[in-house]
A = this chain, B = another copy of it.
Amino acid sequence: MAPIRNAAVIFAEVPTGYPEAGKHLKYVQDRTIDLDTVDVQDGIVTKNLVVSIDPYMRGRMRDADKKSYSFEFTLNEPLQNFFVGKIVKSGNTNFPVGQYVYGMGVYEEYTVHPKASTDHLRLLSEAQLKAGLQLTTWVGAAGMPGQTAYHGFYDIGEPKKGDTIFITGASGAVGQIVGQLAKREGLTVIGSAGSDDKVKWLKEELNFDHAFNYKTADVKAELAKFKPLNIYFDNVGGDQLEAALDAADNHARFIECGMISQYNERDAHGIRNLFLVVAKRIKLQGFIVFDKFSDPEFFEGFYSKIPKWIVSGELKIKEDVTKGLEKAPEAIIGIFRGNNFGKAVIQIAEDN
């Protein structure tokens, strides 16, 4: 066979505010791979089927000399994120051709994973495949965002039946799972989102006790309708974090998952009522789910429950699937504007 196209989305320039398609993130087609001659050694080659879009990616779009919890993207190289791929060539008997793998991948059509990278990939088992989840879900509710919801809610939130929880970004990949876990545990669940459609879905499909559009509602007034907050699951920071501090009960737990409202702002919003952390004895704790990736017990607990609940319909999920890698730059930028409705994911190729 001759070399075939291996299109990719490239990190072309470090953005200072919102990234722009074609400038900071570029779709490029003039790359090839020759599957016959590529030297796989003891690694594998995957045909990439789906790749995830997650807010934390904004933090990776930075200068190489700035440290953070995630590796920065390399300039002029493709973006990376969680993916599902099918093995098309293998030099490793643990990863046979034809099997599906998931883990950290690359925004391109085919990827050569050296042995060191395969150590961090997992095979989708026969049982997992038979469960019947869409492949996209293994990077969503049954993947990193689902793990983020599960870890943050249980381990940091310390939920108790009867508690009141407020979730921002509630229709997003993480928020939608947190809200449903909280309903399961008998909490009163309040969510905010950025459109009336999302709010309607939270109320009617996910049975949130209350939901509102933070762009048009008075956040403080909405929260004042309920008992003081015992838990706040923060995906956005900024004004809504301030409102949650005002509405918090004594000894509230603030699960600090992300502050997407701040990621693209050059001048971050100052939180002016942080003194309430003292007066109300609030625990405000940040976490990164990657810290749990070396904990087999955590994965066992997660994978024994979440995929099953999704299949049975106990856990409803909403995914916002964009087809085609060429649309990825716009789709990535869209999540910082709240354009996605549900878990954002790119379908790179059909599974055939």
Contact = CB atoms under 8 A, between A and B. Distances in A.
Contact of A259 (B250, B256, B275, B285): B275
A257 B281 CA distance: 9
Contact of A268 (B250, B273, B287): B273
A281 B258 CA distance: 11
Interface residues of A, number: 35
B256 A278 contact: yes
A282 interface: yes
Contacts of A291: 281
Contacts of A269: 270, 272
Nearest to A262: B275
A70 to B, nearest CB: 9
A278 B286 contact: yes
Interface in A253-286: 256-259, 262-263, 267-286
Contacts of A237: 274-275
Contact of A281 (B59, B276, B282, B287): B287
A312 interface: no
Contacts of A275: 237, 259, 262-263, 268
A69 B274 contact: no
A286 to B, nearest CB: 4
Contacts of A270: 269-272
A288 interface: yes
A176 B283 CA distance: 24
Contact of A284 (B68, B284, B288): B284
A68 B282 CA distance: 13
Contacts of A262: 275
Contacts of A268: 272-275
A284 B277 contact: yes
A135 to B, nearest CB: 29
B272 A267 contact: yes
Contact of A283 (B258, B272, B283): B283
Contact of A68 (B69, B257, B258, B279): B279
Nearest to A67: B279
28 contacts: A69-B279, A69-B280, A257-B278, A259-B278, A262-B275, A268-B274, A268-B275, A269-B270, A269-B272, A270-B270, A270-B271, A270-B272, A271-B271, A271-B274, A274-B274, A277-B284, A277-B285, A277-B286, A278-B286, A278-B287, A278-B288, A279-B286, A279-B288, A281-B285, A281-B291, A282-B286, A283-B283, A283-B285
A-B CB proximity, top 3 nearest: A270-B270, A278-B286, A277-B286
Given A277-B286, A284-B284, A285-B285, 7 more contacts: A69-B281, A259-B275, A263-B275, A268-B274, A279-B288, A281-B288, A282-B285
